[in-house]
Each structure stands twice: as structure tokens, then as C-alpha cells.
Amino acid sequence: MKELIVIILGAVLVENFVLVKFLGICPFLGVSKKVSTALGMGAAVVFVMSVASAATWLVQELLLIPYEIEYLQTITFILVIAALVQFVEIILKKFSISLYKALGVYLPLITTNCAVLGAAIINVQRGYNLLEATVYGAAAAAGFTLAIVLFAGVRERLEYSDIPESLKGFPISLISAALVSIAFLGFQGLL
């Protein structure tokens, strides 16, 4: 239990995927204009990353290691993740229309989100077991959600500020992301 709490705290705060590890920057900057959409994206990422972490762990342990083909890790993982996202989409469409309506639009965006593949690779590197891997995936995604929602709040404020012409839009978002990132540096010594 104690290990799991350490993993969760570490993944959410100390090594936040977006602000410290630089994984998943594209959706972080793209889908963070409004707090509500940021929450939707975050929920979809939490869902996919938990499932993908478990699936890639199983593929690694049951397929790649027994047949000694670990060098095919990158290819297998990206294909598993791509297939998985499609699969989740089909299942959601069939069984839970309301959930599909809430998360569906974000699902295709997640396949090439580097956070998902990143979490899968980190799980293998750190030698987590199935439970730890799934928890790490979910916690890292929760960290992503925390960052994107906080940042969406900052950006909603930016809309009303007086900003120099050449910094408007994308550049000022990056500079404010730097400030949010400085705040997260404060968690460095936590664990």
C-alpha cells in the first residue's frame, strides 16, 4: 500500500508528466483553452492510460519476454496502443452512449499522445508489477489532467489581459506554462 501511495504522489506531483517530464505537450497546449474541455480531455486520458498501461504490461510479460523479442518493444507498444484506442471507442459506442459522447471526441487524439507510450515504457524500465503499472498509468494521467485543468484556468484569464502584439496567443501560453512549471518545481523534494 505504501509503495502505491509513493507511486501516486510521485507521478501526480513530483514528476508531473506535462510540466516536469514534457510528455503530452501537444494536447496540453492545444486543448487547454477552456476548463470544461480540459476536464473532458483529462478524463479520456486517465481512462486510456490506465487500460494501456495494463495492456502493454501484459504484452511485455506474456509475449515479448518469453519469446525474447524485447527489442520489438517500440513497434508492439505503439500498435497495441493504437488498436486499444480504436477498441475502446467501439466498445464505448456500443455500450455507453453517454460516456462515448463525453469522451469520444478526445479518443482519436490520444493514440499519438506521447504520454501513453511514455508511461508504458517507464513501467517496463522501472520493473513495476501489473498493479503498480496500472496505478502508475492512472496517476500519471491524473497528473496530466491536473496540469491541463490548472493551465486552462490560467489561459481563461489570459484572454482578458493586455499582452504585447507579438506574444499574443501561443507564445504567451508557453511563457505562462513556464510559470506553472516553476510552481511544480516546488514539489521536487517531496519524496
- Residue 94 Cβ, how far from other proteins at the closest point, in Å? 21
Residue 7 binds other proteins, judged by CB under 8 A? no
Start-to-end CA distance of the chain, whole Å, equals 16
d(CA 157, CA 52): 34
Residue 117 binds other proteins, judged by CB under 8 A? yes
d(CA 95, CA 144): 27
d(CA 86, CA 134): 20
Place of cell 469520444: 104
- State how far the alpha carbon of 158 is from the alpha carbons of 5, 53, 153, in Å: 35, 35, 9
Residue 39 binds other proteins, judged by CB under 8 A? no
Are 14 and 188 within 8 A, CB to CB? yes
In the region spanning residues 128 to 147, those forming contacts with other proteins, defined by CB under 8 A, are: none
- Residue 24 Cβ, how far from other proteins at the closest point, in Å? 7
Residue 14 binds other proteins, judged by CB under 8 A? no
Residue 173 binds other proteins, judged by CB under 8 A? yes
Member of 9, 37, 61, 154 binding other proteins (CB under 8 A): 37
d(CA 27, CA 94): 26
d(CA 4, CA 60): 21
Member of 7, 12, 23, 64 binding other proteins (CB under 8 A): 23
Member of 58, 63, 72, 90 binding other proteins (CB under 8 A): 72
Question: Which residues lie near other proteins (CB under 8 A)?
Answer: 19-27, 29-31, 33-34, 37, 41, 71-75, 78-79, 82, 105-106, 108-109, 111-114, 117-118, 121-122, 125, 164-175, 177-179, 181-182, 184-185
